[in-house]
């Protein structure tokens, strides 16, 4: 998508979208290419899979702790 197309999807300025795209590009989450006078951006989802896998490892720890917290609050809410 071009910056103009992306701006239409959000309620932030073109300058803000451009800054976000540069950060996403630097982190490898989007790539850009010139098409005529426009720069087009494309999502690179592979780094997100790595993050998802890393988070999945910790998910069962979080669920256990949150369940314990919920039980504690429910038992001590009286």
Domain CATH code at residue 11: 1.10.10.10
Q: Is the pLDDT of residue 78 over 70?
A: no
What is the pTM (predicted TM-score) of this model?
Answer: 0.63
Percent of the chain with pLDDT over 90: 67
Q: In this structure, are 22 and 8 located in the same domain?
A: yes
Q: Kindly give, in sequence order, each residue whose CB lies less than 8 Å from that of residue 42, ignoring residues fewer than 6 positions away.
A: 1, 30, 31, 32, 33
Mark whether 64 and 77 lie in a shared domain.
yes
pLDDT band at 64; cut points 50, 70, 90: confident
Domain enclosing residue 51, as ranges: 45-78
Strands (E) in the chain, as ranges, are: 30-35, 38-43
Sorted by sequence, the CB contacts under 8 Å of residue 25 that are 6+ apart come out as: 31, 32, 41
My answer on whether 78 and 49 are in the same domain is yes
Place of tokens 């949150």: 66
Same domain, 49 and 77: yes
The count of structural domains within the chain is: 2
51 shares a domain with 33: no
Per residue in 28-56, pLDDT (tens digit) is 999 999 999 999 999 999 989 988 988 89
């Amino acid at each position: 998508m071009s910056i103009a197309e992306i701006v239409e999807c959000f309620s932030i300025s073109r300058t803000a979208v451009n800054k976000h795209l540069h950060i996403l590009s630097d982190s490898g989450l989007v790539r850009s290419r010139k098409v005529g006078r426009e720069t087009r951006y494309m999502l690179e989802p592979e780094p997100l899979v790595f993050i998802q896998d890393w988070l999945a490892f910790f998910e069962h720890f979080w669920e256990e702790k949150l369940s314990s917290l919920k039980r504690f609050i429910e038992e001590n809410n009286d």
